[in-house]
Structure 1
Amino acid sequence: MTTSSGLTAPFALARFASDTGPVPGLVVGDRIRPLSSSELGAPSLNDFLAQGDAAWDRLAVLATTADGSTDASWVPLGSVTLLAPVEPRQVLQTGANYRTHVIDLVVAGRAKQDPRPIEELREWAADLMDRRAREGIPYFFIGLPACVVGADEILELPAYSDQHDWELELAVVIGAPAFRVAREDALEHVAGYTIVNDVTTRDLVFRQDMKDIGTDWYRAKNAPGFLPTGPFLVPARHVADPGTLHLTLTVNGETMQDAETSDLLFGIPALIAAASETMPLLPGDLLLTGSPAGNGVVHGRMLRDGDVMVGTIEGLGSQVVRTAAARVPA
């Protein structure tokens, strides 16, 4: 259960559990208050996100009562169970989008018969990534919204593999619908940002029965709970430059990922423009921007029963995810 927000923004959105179901909440520091549909000014969270700046202006006014002096509905953040702060209808994931990450994967996957020294292989991969950034296009695949859960939910590691890996990612939350938008207009369609751990089963990424088929993202990334999200949705207006954010992920206190979004091959405007070229992006949809270097496949260490992952993104707070081995049916 979250006890400290770690937020630097004046306020953020969250969702938490109640006896009547999920409730949207306004977070300021280490306090939260429920939001009614009349306070949201919309019948749903996604409808709220579609309204743009006017909607955030209303919440900014409510946030000024967080000290509790005039509004008794504020409660300690640690007294509630946080859920995912979004309800996406679509989840788009971006592959191979951090320069250093891809270079590390190329080296880690080096064929035994490859005669090149490691440094030569790294230089070759770096040149390839630089050319891709100049001339290529982003690589997208889709995830299941059903996998989006709150960080307070235990991540159960499926027993069919022991190769479950972490992938800390900055996620874009869509506000105004985006369809075939230009890069220069793309950020106008961003409602805010959140944290996602895009958990991946490494030995299922590539098909073994027919290698020419290629990747199998459905089996590798869509087990229950494989998209811990949140705990907060921070308004875009309070993230000065999403292209220079610092990200870290620790496992049991050991730093595994430590990077900045400046290492992205394709920045957020390029991702939104490219993704919206094919299909409209809807209010509340998640667009994951990719994972930086430092995944378990590079460290030679995958997730195990009882691990505690802490993913932190500058300005967005921290996400704590606890793992457990799969339960054996009675």
Structure 2
Amino acid sequence: MKTKITIATLFLLVFSTVNAQKYDIKTAKTYAEISAKTDGKWENRKYIGGTVFKNVNQLKLSPEHTDHSFDIRYEGPGWESNKVGYRLYLDWRNAIDIFGKKTEAIILPEVGQDNFDSYHEMSDWGSDILKAGKGIGIGSIDRYLDNKKLHFYEVDSTIANVENKVKQSSVKIRYYGWKTASDKIDFTSELIIKPDQLYTEHKIKASKEIKGICTGIVKQKNTELLKKESKNKKWAYLATYGIQSLVPDKLGMAIFYETSTIENAVDAELDYLLVFKPATKAISFYFLGAWEQQPDGIKSQDEFVKYLNEKLELLNKKGKL
């Protein structure tokens, strides 16, 4: 006797298969988190007391929060693949930093647990390897207007979400009422990382067309600026390479961008910036850090350029990574 499989039955089979693939951090190759203290109290703009950091899927930023408030573990959300980790300073700086990993294991749950900023010291898993300072870090968002960077000093409210799936992890930040110059907008930033990859896809969207929304790479000493933009090609890259990690040792940083989305490139005091054309539709770009001590790490500028050119070719062919 033949069994007739209806569309509804087929849907249930597919649905069951997808949901059977549960996220397991022990075997995962990507991970995202945001971890905060909730049982202390605010004194001025510092969070005092509290026993443990608690991971949450969503966090609304406290109005008192600023840099070094000590309420959020490693100062914001973090995300990682089995190759590299990143974190975003969830305050006025809004810079993205790099965690260099010497292991393919998931490491973020242990970062900053023993001491608030212990990740600045090299450990078995690795360490923070980028000095962002007053710069943009790598691949984060700012606004550049009249030769000045306008940070996230004035925001009505900020909400961060994290999500972990079998094939990717992501962080989504929603900024409501971000005020710079005479403009006030809502802004969304989504950061997605996939297994076995160095890069993060960054999707951004503004509620209003304003000039000066930018991304970029913080300048460091002992580096070479690398660029590739070809006629009749949709994608290009901006990169730096050299002994620019905090170790110090070799680190490459890069941004892949669609040329049609960029108004101009700026060699600013602290950063190499890419300024986007005013837009309200979503824009995607990719950024990455390639550290020589990462698992199967890129150890020379020639290797780094080869890697960049391969990814660029794929982008120009398929339109995505």
What TM-score range do you get, normalising by the shorter chain? Answer: under 0.3
User: What TM-score comes out, normalization by structure 2 length?
Assistant: 0.27
Please identify which structure carries the higher helix content. Answer: 1
Please identify which structure carries the higher strand content. Answer: 2
Could you say which structure has the greater relative contact order, defined with CA pairs below 8 angstroms and 6 or more residues apart?
1
User: What TM-score comes out, normalization by structure 1 length?
Assistant: 0.27
